[in-house]
């Protein structure tokens, strides 16, 4: 297992652990019911506990495998890396899209997103503007005008 | 009989024929793109169907389903780049044939095998789905509980070597499915006091995020990938008589093997290609040719994955239960159109059901006609650089997620699961258990609650009723057999040493 996969699995298991704790905390007061009449708290509690145990189990498995991971790291593939700048850039872009949809509407949000996305993917100059304008306009025409799906129009 | 005729007539209407053609063409185009298989194709193109009439929408989606499967192997054969996981096996001998100057023959055999297996699969589906559905009408909550539990247990065995990881993802999916208002009691669960969580999480944006948006993020890391180049002309497409003869038996075996594997929960299409390849190599008189450009190594697996795709539709159409990601996204297409697949579909929406089945036959023929002469054109789509294609995919995903409930919250859900999908890819984890946990979680809870209520808390009824008892026994075998087998094998090895 590569270092990236190892770390990604630690993050996955930790997220599952957090989810299980939140589930149990939120549903603790819900009634479990009886065997005859299973109530609303039964499923979340059973699967919350199961998720808690399994996520701890996975973290323990990863702890035991830490030595194998160190050995694998020596022969790690360059493609197994994470482009953190790009990942943060895309995450920011997604947030900007949501904010712009609420404020400026879909068309502007789509133009900005494709401009940002294309730039992060290495597209430059006039091609980028053509792609952004074309994609935003075509998707708006196709979905909003032709298919009748009312896309966000912003604050105006 | 009248319903069947009405369905057939509906499928042959000009509008539906046009949507069928559009579906197979769009599916093939998207299927050719590396990384975007039929799941990605349907999740991206699902929004197009929102405003359409149900029969036309489902015919379009079925066309995309089969088109996506056809397109997936093109880049495997031409440039050694699998379109999706089930196309990996096509690189073993298909790409070797391309290196020997037989790319056209490999592509043509791939198209013929897909047509052949697709047709056999749909014939089997036509005859198997109605009887299974009529049996399923007698299913009560215990049977549904047992079959869903068995599906999840089998899936956990097939998607990952670690049971802990698979079970964790299934449990995570079930927990996520709990969010929102409880359908049985009306109680709010896991909403954290937020009104936007009352309706729960819709699984369509989750699928779009896990499979579609994560692809956009991954593309950023491959932005320097060289465009694909290949010389394709109609003249070079035709396989020789000998190649056709050698492909016939592997195609037939692959079709039936694939269909049977398709009925099993899990990544059936991927498994079927490997199983078919292993079988062909084992029974071949020239196993040494495998991996060096054997036509049987292309024909068998290509037929198997198409057979499996038809097999996977049997549990969806007859029981209303999807057992892998692809039927799961088809289920979302059905639900969006207000149709619930399952035993009642044939009585409540017979025209839609039979029109859909008929359109699958028509779509398969259209695919063969499209694929043979136009394969060169489809291959050229793979030459579009990701930096141009992926921003368009991103906008399609945004619009798709928003369109489900005209709600920006679904876009946020999709974005979150896009990042989770990226994390899963880096962790080399299959998201299928999580997806099926989300989809099957509510069904599992409802069937358990109803079973306990009907049988007054008597747990033994799960084991005394023949169908649920058999399903649960199979579930126990699936769970305990592998460790027992490993233990016995280890003991024997120690004894022999």
What's the rounded Cα separation, in Å, for the pair B172 and A18? Answer: 11
pLDDT given for residue B255 in this prediction? 92
CB B200 within 8 A of CB B29: no
The total domain count for chain B is: 1
What's the rounded Cα separation, in Å, for the pair B161 and B182? Answer: 34
The per-residue DSSP string of B70-139 comes to HHTTHHHHHHS--SSGGGHHHHHHHHHHHHTT-HHHHHHHHHHHHHHHHHHHHHHHHHHHHHHHHHHTT-
Residue B147: how many CB atoms within 10 A of its CB? 27
What's the rounded Cα separation, in Å, for the pair B482 and B56? Answer: 45
In a domain, B150, yes or no: no
CB A44 within 8 A of CB B175: yes
pLDDT given for residue B249 in this prediction? 93
Averaged over A35-53, what is the pLDDT?
A: 92
CB A20 within 8 A of CB A48: yes
Contacts A54 to B, Cβ<8 Å: 164, 167-168, 171
Looking at per-residue confidence, does A76 or B273 come out higher? B273
CB B270 within 8 A of CB B86: yes
What's the rounded Cα separation, in Å, for the pair B421 and B423? Answer: 5
Residue of A149, A151, A155 to mutate, interface with B, max B Cβ within 10 Å: A149
Question: A117 and B178: CB-CB below 8 Å?
Answer: no
What's the rounded Cα separation, in Å, for the pair B33 and B74? Answer: 9
Q: How far is A156 from chain B (nearest CA, A)?
A: 17
Torsion of CA B243, B248, B249, B253, to 10 degrees: 120
- Report A:104-143 residues touching B (Cβ under 8 A): 106, 110, 113-114, 117-118, 120-123, 127, 131-132, 135-136, 139, 142-143
What's the rounded Cα separation, in Å, for the pair B194 and B79? Answer: 50
Domain residues for the domain of B64 are 2-140+204-408
In a domain, B79, yes or no: yes
∠ CA B386-B392-B397, nearest 5°, is 115
Question: Which of the residues in chain B have pLDDT under 70?
Answer: 1, 32-37, 40, 75, 79-85, 136-137, 158-161, 222-237, 265-267, 374-384
Could you give the angle at which helices A84-103 and B408-427 cross, rounded to 10 degrees? 170
Q: How far is A68 from chain B (nearest CA, A)?
A: 15
In a domain, B441, yes or no: no
pLDDT given for residue B231 in this prediction? 56
Q: How far is A35 from chain B (nearest CA, A)?
A: 4
In a domain, B115, yes or no: yes
Q: Which residue has the tokens 């892998």?
A: B324
pLDDT given for residue B167 in this prediction? 92
Residue of B53, B427, B459 to mutate, interface with A, max A Cβ within 10 Å: B427
Tokens, residue B381: 């789509």
Tokens, residue B337: 């159109």
Burial grade of A56 (CB within 10 A; 0-12, 13-18, 19 or more) = middle
- Burial state string for B42-61 with b = 16 or more CB within 10 A and e = fewer than 16: bbbbbbbbbebebbbbbbbb
CB B299 within 8 A of CB B111: no
Tokens, residue A129: 């503007």
Contacts B441 to A, Cβ<8 Å: 43
Residue of B387, B424, B457 to mutate, interface with A, max A Cβ within 10 Å: B387
Distances (CA, A) of B320 to B139, B144, B195, B397, B431: 12, 10, 30, 26, 21
Residue A100: how many CB atoms within 10 A of its CB? 20
Q: Is residue B181 classed as helix, strand or coil in its secondary structure?
A: strand
Q: Is residue B375 classed as helix, strand or coil in its secondary structure?
A: helix
CB B390 within 8 A of CB A117: yes
- Report A:63-82 residues touching B (Cβ under 8 A): 79, 81-82
pLDDT given for residue B300 in this prediction? 92
Phi then psi for B180, rounded to 5 degrees?
A: 115, -160
Render pLDDT for A82-122 as a digit per residue (tens, 0 to 9). 777 778 888 898 899 999 998 999 999 999 999 998 888 88
Length of chain B: 497
What's the rounded Cα separation, in Å, for the pair B278 and A11? Answer: 36
CB B307 within 8 A of CB B262: yes
DSSP A33: B
Averaged over A59-70, what is the pLDDT?
A: 82
What's the rounded Cα separation, in Å, for the pair B276 and B305? Answer: 9
Strands (E), B182-268: 188-189
pLDDT given for residue B401 in this prediction? 82
Positive or negative, the CA dihedral B114, B119, B120, B126 is positive
Residue B357: how many CB atoms within 10 A of its CB? 22
In a domain, B131, yes or no: yes
Q: Where are the alpha helices (DSSP H) in B266-324?
A: 268-283, 296-311, 313-319
In a domain, B446, yes or no: no
What's the rounded Cα separation, in Å, for the pair B306 and B363? Answer: 13
Question: B220 and A120: CB-CB below 8 Å?
Answer: yes
Could you give the angle at which helices B386-405 and B38-45 cross, rounded to 10 degrees? 60
pLDDT at A156 over 70: no
Contacts A42 to B, Cβ<8 Å: 449
Beta bridge partners of B181: B188
Q: How far is A148 from chain B (nearest CA, A)?
A: 7
In a domain, B164, yes or no: no
Distances (CA, A) of B451 to A48, B48, B149, B475: 22, 39, 14, 18
CB B146 within 8 A of CB B355: no
Tokens, residue B396: 């399609």
In a domain, B175, yes or no: no
């Amino acid at each position: 297992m590569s270092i990236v996969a190892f770390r990604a699995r630690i993050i996955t298991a930790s997220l599952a652990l957090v989810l299980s704790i939140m589930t149990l905390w939120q549903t603790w007061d819900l009634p479990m019911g009886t065997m005859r009449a299973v109530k609303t708290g039964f499923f979340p509690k059973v699967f919350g506990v199961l998720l808690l145990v399994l996520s701890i189990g996975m973290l323990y498995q990863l702890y035991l495998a830490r030595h194998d991971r160190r050995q694998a790291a020596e022969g790690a593939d360059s493609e197994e890396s994470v482009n953190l700048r790009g990942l943060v850039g895309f995450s920011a872009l997604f947030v900007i899209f949501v904010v712009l949809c609420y404020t400026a509407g879909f068309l502007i949000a789509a133009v900005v997103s494709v401009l940002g996305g294309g730039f992060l993917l290495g597209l430059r100059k006039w091609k980028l503007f053509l792609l952004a304008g074309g994609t935003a306009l075509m998707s708006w025409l196709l979905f909003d005008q032709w298919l009748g799906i009312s896309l966000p129009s912003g604050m105006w | 009989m009248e319903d069947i005729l009405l369905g057939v007539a509906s499928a042959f209407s000009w509008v539906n024929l046009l949507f069928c053609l559009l579906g197979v063409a769009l599916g093939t185009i998207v299927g050719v793109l590396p990384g975007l298989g039929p799941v990605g194709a349907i999740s991206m193109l699902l929004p197009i169907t929102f405003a359409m009439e149900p029969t036309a929408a489902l015919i379009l989606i079925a066309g995309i389903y089969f088109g996506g499967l056809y397109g997936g192997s093109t880049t495997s054969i031409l440039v050694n780049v699998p379109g999706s996981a089930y196309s990996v096996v096509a690189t073993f001998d298909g790409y070797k044939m391309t290196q020997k100057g037989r790319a056209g023959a490999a592509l043509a055999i791939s198209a013929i095998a897909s047509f052949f297996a697709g047709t056999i699969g749909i014939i089997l589906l036509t005859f198997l789905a109605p009887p299974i559905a009529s049996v399923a009408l007698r299913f009560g909550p215990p049977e549904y509980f047992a079959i869903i539990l068995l599906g999840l247990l089998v899936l956990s065995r097939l998607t990952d070597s670690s049971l802990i990881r698979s079970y964790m993802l299934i449990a995570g999916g079930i927990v996520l499915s709990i969010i929102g208002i409880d359908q049985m009691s009306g109680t709010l669960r896991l909403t954290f006091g937020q009104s936007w969580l009352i309706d729960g999480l819709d699984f369509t944006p989750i699928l779009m995020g896990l499979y579609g948006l994560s692809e956009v993020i991954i593309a950023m890391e491959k932005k320097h990938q060289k465009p694909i180049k290949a010389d394709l002309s109609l003249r070079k497409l035709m396989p020789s008589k000998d190649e056709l003869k050698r492909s016939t038996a592997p195609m037939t075996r692959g079709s039936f093997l694939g269909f049977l594997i398709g009925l099993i929960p899990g990544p059936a299409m991927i498994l079927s290609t490997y199983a078919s390849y292993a079988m062909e190599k084992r029974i071949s008189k020239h196993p040494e040719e495998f991996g060096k450009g054997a036509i049987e190594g292309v024909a068998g697996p290509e037929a198997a994955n198409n057979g499996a795709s038809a097999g996977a539709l049997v549990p969806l159409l007859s029981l209303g239960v999807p057992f892998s990601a692809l039927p799961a996204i088809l289920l979302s297409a059905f639900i969006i159109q207000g149709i619930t697949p399952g035993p009642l579909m044939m009585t409540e929406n017979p025209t839609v059901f039979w029109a859909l089945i008929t359109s699958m036959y028509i779509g398969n023929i259209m695919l063969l006609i499209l694929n043979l002469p136009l394969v060169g054109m489809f291959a050229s789509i793979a030459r579009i650089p990701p930096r141009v294609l992926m921003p368009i995919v991103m906008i399609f995903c945004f619009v798709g997620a928003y369109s489900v409930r005209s709600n920006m919250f679904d876009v946020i859900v999709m974005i979150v699961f896009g990042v989770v999908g990226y994390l899963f890819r880096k962790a080399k984890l299959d998201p299928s258990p999580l997806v099926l946990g989300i989809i099957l979680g509510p069904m599992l809870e409802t069937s358990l609650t109803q079973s306990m209520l009907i049988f007054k808390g008597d747990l033994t009824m799960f084991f005394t009723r023949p169908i649920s008892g058999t399903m649960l026994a199979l579930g126990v075998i699936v769970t305990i057999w592998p460790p027992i087998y490993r233990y016995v094998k280890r003991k024997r090895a120690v004894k022999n040493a």
